[in-house]
Homo-oligomer: A and B are copies of this chain.
Amino acid sequence: MKTYLECIPCFLKQALFAAGAATTDDRRIKEVLDGVARLIPDISMESSPPEMATRVYALVKKITGVQDPFAQLKKESIENALSRYTNLKRAVEEAEDPLEAAVRIAIVGNLIDFGASTEFDLDAAMEEVFDKRLAIDHFASFRETLAKARSVVYLGDNAGETVFDRVLIETMEKETTYVVRDIPVINDATDEDARRSGLDAVARILPSGCYAPGTILSGCSEDFLRAYEEADLIISKGQGNFETLSEETGPLFFLLKVKCPVIAKHLGAELGAMVLKNARLHGGTPNSGRKGDGV
């Protein structure tokens, strides 16, 4: 997905939030904003938003000297999610269609995203998790692809969401590689966050090699690319992975909550929508998702 004009003010908003998480020194924060502003004239609108976001967060780290501004928020998100784990498992076990229930849980977990918004209501989202219509619903082909798959590559997104992902991984019962960010960026899950969420017990954890809050294939490690190419099913969680992989055509399914107006417009879905999109099926234009798998 390319960068939209609407993304540009948002880069500064994200910089402000990240810098504010790293320091209370207003002069430092202004220095970060100035640095990001100086980058704006050089933005290629053809590159994906996470490419610019990578530079934004590198600047935050460089100027504030804080390598992981969201460390504490990430810990709290994981603890909060772990406290829900037993209930999530029970909901899957009691569901008429456990796989569908686990997919929906994984999508709602994507709400825990400090890159998209600083405020979200997980309790409210959980209440509608099994009732809300998917705005793009390629579940039938997801189930089919999963049934035939031997190995799954699962591209994680945010810390805390990791626990929701674990529920889906446990439900799928496939050999799974869980991919995390190489270094801390926003509240995205790293190796440490994945282990803290208990993912090491159910999957092989693999850093992507990429520094972006997304998956920029040209920046990923050989190890990652091998797993990605060989996977029978790739699950891509969240907006950042979608923004960087939306043009890919592998056995790739995007699971996400729509949290920004630009992605809403791009997908033809409402803010707050739950999306399960097969990369090989149409669904990137308004209403197409409503036609389901048959398109």
Contacts and interface: CB of A to CB of B under 8 A. Distances in A.
Contacts of A33: 5, 8, 40
B34 A5 contact: no
Interface stretch (A10-18, A167-175, A243-251, A272-280): A10-18
Interface in A28-79: 29-30, 33-34, 37-38, 40-41, 45
A6 interface: yes
Interface string A109-147: 000000000000000000000000000000000000000
A9 interface: yes
The listed residue with most B CB atoms (<10 A of its CB), out of A6, A13, A40, is A40
Nearest to A14: B9
Given A6-B16, A16-B9, A37 B41 contact: yes
Q: How many copies does the complex hold?
A: 2
Range, interface on chain A: 10 to 19
A26 interface: yes
B13 A9 contact: yes
A13 B9 CA distance: 5
A15 to B, nearest CB: 8
B45 A30 contact: yes
A13 to B, nearest CB: 4
A29 B5 contact: yes
Nearest to A4: B26
Nearest to A10: B9
Contacts of A10: 9
B12 A16 contact: no
Interface string A194-220: 000000000000000000000000000
A6 B5 CA distance: 19
Contacts of A8: 12, 16, 30, 33, 37
Contacts of A29: 5
A73 to B, nearest CB: 19
B41 A34 contact: yes
A34 B11 CA distance: 13
A30 B44 CA distance: 11
A26 B5 contact: yes
18 contacts: A5-B16, A5-B20, A5-B30, A8-B30, A8-B33, A8-B37, A9-B9, A9-B10, A9-B12, A9-B16, A26-B45, A33-B40, A34-B41, A37-B37, A37-B40, A37-B41, A38-B38, A38-B41
In order of increasing CB-CB distance, the 7 nearest A-B pairs are A37-B40, A9-B12, A34-B41, A9-B13, A37-B37, A9-B9, A8-B33
